[in-house]
């Protein structure tokens, strides 16, 4: 359904270019909940934005690769086609809903505008549909929220409104870029549960972007781990979490509170994400990697892992390892 194939993307800058995506391949099947996880700057948002072509076309260069949605070539679609696809076929929710909601317009009006742009419903029908959507978000008094301005709502309530807005045209794919990062943990969980419940009901697939492995483990069926513009590991969530193969994934998991010895500090991955304009040759993770060895001066491709169908990792040092527990 969403098919990003070997995408190399760069941003031209003065005297050169920053390579932001280095051959990213990501697929989302109908109805699936898929995660992309990685530290800040790994290219998660650029990948998400390119799926809906939300980056101005004159600001980036695609060296090779393609992005397809239900067979349609997103990189070559006209702006008119993209306007139709966005909202109707694919929707996106962002970390800070205040930036996506219009502050000067009542919430209900924003939802009915989207519904009316993509359907032939009358104003009255669109209003009913919007209120029903808000009720589906377990909002106790949807009429009151319908008439509210965004600033009158709490962060969690705003994110529920954003989800209602995203589902208003029953898209087949919803891309959620850190949708709950700004919320406290309990509200975060409620919002994620809501998202999943709605997606299950409508058959919508979700591509969920997060830096939090705990969110992936609770929420996603499959996961792609990104580092410095590359997918370094991917597979069924349970496999990746139970037997992480890439040292970077192991590092991300080592930082989870539930994996720490009681009383001991949480582990962080040493070092920082490298500057994309100046990546080390070979494996991009090598200067932070506890396992680095001689083969790491060559860029590792995603390699299958023994006895784990579909699970691949881009690490020479752990390739072919049967099980890491
Ligand atoms: P975060 O977790 O902080 O949201 P991310 O994984 O979403 O990080 P991206 O926003 O995708 O990271 O950015 C990847 C890289 O691309 C960063 O180094 C960023 O500086 C660079 N980048 C993003 N947009 C542009 C742009 N329009 N022009 C130049 N560089 C950009
Ligand atoms: Mg981001």
Q: What is the pLDDT of residues 196-233, one digit of tens each?
A: 998 999 999 999 999 999 999 999 999 999 999 999 99
Q: Is the CB of 82 under 6 A from ligand 1?
A: no
- pLDDT tens track for 258-291: 666 666 665 677 777 778 877 778 999 998 898 8
* pLDDT-based confidence at residue 83 (cuts at 50, 70, 90): confident
- pLDDT at position 273: 76
Q: Which ligand has an atom closest to residue 49 CA? A: 1
Higher pLDDT, 278 or 191: 191
Q: Mutate which of 16, 46, 207, 230 to test ligand 1's pocket (most atoms within 8 Å of Cβ)?
A: 46
Q: Is the CB of 43 under 6 A from ligand 1?
A: yes
Nearest CA to ligand 1 atom 19: 41
Mean pLDDT over the full length of the chain: 89
Q: Mutate which of 43, 52, 209, 216 to test ligand 1's pocket (most atoms within 8 Å of Cβ)?
A: 43
* pLDDT-based confidence at residue 19 (cuts at 50, 70, 90): very high
- pLDDT at position 185: 82
Q: Which ligand has an atom closest to residue 47 CA? A: 1
Averaged pLDDT for residues 172-179: 93
- pLDDT at position 90: 92
Ligand 1 atom at minimum distance from 46 CA:
11
Q: Is the CB of 58 under 6 A from ligand 1?
A: no
Q: Is the CB of 42 under 6 A from ligand 1?
A: yes
Averaged pLDDT for residues 171-180: 92
- Range scoring the smallest mean pLDDT among 44-48, 95-99, 241-245: 95-99
- pLDDT at position 50: 94
Helix axis angle for 79-88 and 107-118, nearest 10°, is 120
* pLDDT-based confidence at residue 324 (cuts at 50, 70, 90): very low
Is 323 a residue whose pLDDT tops 60?
A: no
* pLDDT-based confidence at residue 123 (cuts at 50, 70, 90): very high
Ligand 1 atom at minimum distance from 39 CA:
2
Q: Which ligand has an atom closest to residue 227 CA? A: 1
- pLDDT tens track for 127-168: 999 999 999 888 889 999 999 999 999 888 888 899 999 898
Averaged pLDDT for residues 82-110: 85
Asked whether 71 and 65 are in contact (CB, 8 A), the reply is no
CA distance 242 to 220: 14
- Range scoring the smallest mean pLDDT among 7-21, 57-71, 235-249, 252-266: 252-266
Q: What pTM does this model have?
A: 0.91
Reduced 3-state DSSP string for the chain:
CEEEEEEEEEEEECCEEEEEEEEEEEEECCCCEEEEECCCCCCHHHHHHHHCCCCCCCCCEEEEEEEEECCEECCCCCHHHHHHHHHHCEEEECCCHHHHCCCCCCHHHHHHHHHHHHCCCCHHHHHHHHHHHHHHCCCCCHHHHHCCCHHHCCHHHHHHHHHHHHHCCCCCEEEEECCCCCCCHHHHHHHHHHHHHHHHHHCCEEEEEECCHHHHHHHCCEEEEEECCEEEEEEEHHHHHHCCCCHHHHHHHHCCHHHCCCCCCCCCCCCCCCCHHHCCCCCCCHHHCCCCCHHHHCCCCCEEECCEEEEEECCCCCCCCCCCC
The rounded Å distance from CA 211 to ligand 2 centre is 9
Averaged pLDDT for residues 65-92: 90
Q: Is the CB of 45 under 6 A from ligand 1?
A: yes
Higher pLDDT, 270 or 115: 115
Percent of the chain with pLDDT over 90: 59
Ligand 1 atom at minimum distance from 49 CA:
11
Averaged pLDDT for residues 82-103: 82
Nearest CA to ligand 1 atom 30: 11
Say yes or no: domain 30-55+76-89+175-311 is CATH 3.40.50.300: yes
Per-domain boundaries in the chain:
30-55+76-89+175-311, 94-170
* pLDDT-based confidence at residue 325 (cuts at 50, 70, 90): very low
Q: Mutate which of 45, 229, 232 to test ligand 1's pocket (most atoms within 8 Å of Cβ)?
A: 45
């Amino acid at each position: 359904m969403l098919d990003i194939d070997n995408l190399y993307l760069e941003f031209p800058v003065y005297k050169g270019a920053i390579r932001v995506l280095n051959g990213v391949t990501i697929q989302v099947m109908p109805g699936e909940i898929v995660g992309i996880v990685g530290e800040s700057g790994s290219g998660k948002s650029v990948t998400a934005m390119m799926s809906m072509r939300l980056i101005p076309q004159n600001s980036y260069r695609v060296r090779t690769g393609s992005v397809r949605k239900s067979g349609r070539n997103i990189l070559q679609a006209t702006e008119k086609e993209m306007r139709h696809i966005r909202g109707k076929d694919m929707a996106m929710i962002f970390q800070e809903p205040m930036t996506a909601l219009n502050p000067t317009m009542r919430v209900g009006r924003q939802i009915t505008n989207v519904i009316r742009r993509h359907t032939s419903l009358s104003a009255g029908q669109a209003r009913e549909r919007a209120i029903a959507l808000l009720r589906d978000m377990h909002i106790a008094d949807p009429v009151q929220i319908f008439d509210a301005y965004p600033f009158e709502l709490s962060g969690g309530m705003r994110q529920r409104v954003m989800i209602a807005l995203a589902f208003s045209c029953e898209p087949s794919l919803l891309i959620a870029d850190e949708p709950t990062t700004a919320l406290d943990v309990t509200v975060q969980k409620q919002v994620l549960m809501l998202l999943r419940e709605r997606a299950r009901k409508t058959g919508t697939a979700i591509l969920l972007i997060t830096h939090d492995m705990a969110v992936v483990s609770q929420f996603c069926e499959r996961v792609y781990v990104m580092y410095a513009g590359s997918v370094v590991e991917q597979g069924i969530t349970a496999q990746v979490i139970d037997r992480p193969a890439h040292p970077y994934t192991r590092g991300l998991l080592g930082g989870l509170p539930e994996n720490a010895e009681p009383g001991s500090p949480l582990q962080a991955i040493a070092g920082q994400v490298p500057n994309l304009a100046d990546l080390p040759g070979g494996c991009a993770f090598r200067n932070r990697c506890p396992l680095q060895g001689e083969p790491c001066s060559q860029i590792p491709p995603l390699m299958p892992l023994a006895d784990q169908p579909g699970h691949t990792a881009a690490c020479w040092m752990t390739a072919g390892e049967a099980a890491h527990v």
